[in-house]
């Protein structure tokens, strides 16, 4: 790779690695796995950098690689594995309650099937549109809507919360 390509890739990493790491963490729920996932993603992007830098949105391609790698990891891991709860909770009753609720929600999110989890993370944490999610995950916009709908209902069941019809209409 030419020196100018390496400089451009370095600039790309500086500009987007924090966002990509956040997505990786939200996809895996584990800091170390997120680091590994980000590293794998950046290696893949680096290997194809001359083509990637010419793309309209290189970060979209990187996000697509990241989600794909995350899904591949989930397929390989045992169905018996479950994420552990954090034990380093801060002091304070309200903070503990907030953390407990956060852990309860994330445990439920991490139990979603990989594609549903990817749709929910990209939609609600990365704030991507349905079209952007469809492009990232190589699926039709209608499939994105179906996964979001199914994930919303599954999360509501796991969290024992009713899904209001108005919330369903907003995702349609």
What kind of fold does domain 1-81 have according to CATH?
Rna Polymerase Sigma Factor; Chain: A (1.10.1740)
Give the tens place of pLDDT for each residue, 34-82: 999 999 999 999 999 999 989 889 999 999 999 888 877 655 554 445 5
Same fold, 1-81 and 90-172: no
Per-residue pLDDT of the chain in tens (172 residues, 90 and over written 9):
677 888 899 999 999 999 999 999 988 888 899 999 999 999 999 999 999 989 889 999 999 999 888 877 655 554 445 555 555 555 545 556 667 787 888 888 889 998 999 999 899 888 899 999 999 888 999 999 999 999 999 988 888 865 555 545 555 5
Q: Please report, for the chain, the start and end positions of each structural domain, with discontinuous segments joined by +.
A: 1-81, 90-172
DSSP string computed for the chain? --HHHHHHHHHHHHHHHHHHHHHHHHHHS-HHHHHHHHHHHHHHHHHTHHHHTTSS-HHHHHHHHHHHHHHHHHHHS-TT--PPPP--PPSSHHHHHHHHHHHHHHHHHHTS-HHHHHHHHHHHTS---HHHHHHHHT--HHHHHHHHHHHHHHHHHHHT-PPPHHHHHHH-
Query: pLDDT, tens digit, for every residue of 57-66?
Result: 999 999 999 9
Q: What is the pLDDT of residue 28?
A: 86
Fold of 90-172: Arc Repressor Mutant, subunit A (1.10.10)
């Amino acid at each position: 790779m030419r020196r100018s390509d390496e400089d451009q890739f370095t600039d790309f990493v500086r500009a987007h690695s924090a966002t990509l790491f956040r997505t990786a963490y939200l996809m895996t729920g584990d800091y170390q796995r997120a680091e590994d996932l980000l590293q794998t993603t950046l290696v893949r992007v680096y290997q194809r950098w001359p083509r990637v830098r010419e793309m309209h949105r290189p970060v979209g391609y990187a996000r697509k690689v990241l989600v794909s790698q995350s899904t591949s990891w989930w397929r390989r891991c045992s169905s018996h594995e479950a994420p552990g709860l954090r034990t380093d909770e801060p002091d304070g009753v309200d903070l503990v309650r907030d953390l407990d609720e956060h852990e309860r929600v994330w445990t439920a999110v991490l139990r979603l099937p990989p594609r549903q989890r990817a749709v929910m993370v990209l939609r609600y944490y990365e704030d991507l549109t349905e079209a952007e999610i469809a492009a990232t995950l190589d699926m039709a916009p209608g499939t994105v809507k179906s996964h979001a709908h199914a994930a919303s209902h599954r999360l509501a069941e796991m969290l024992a919360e009713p899904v209001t019809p108005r919330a369903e209409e907003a995702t349609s």
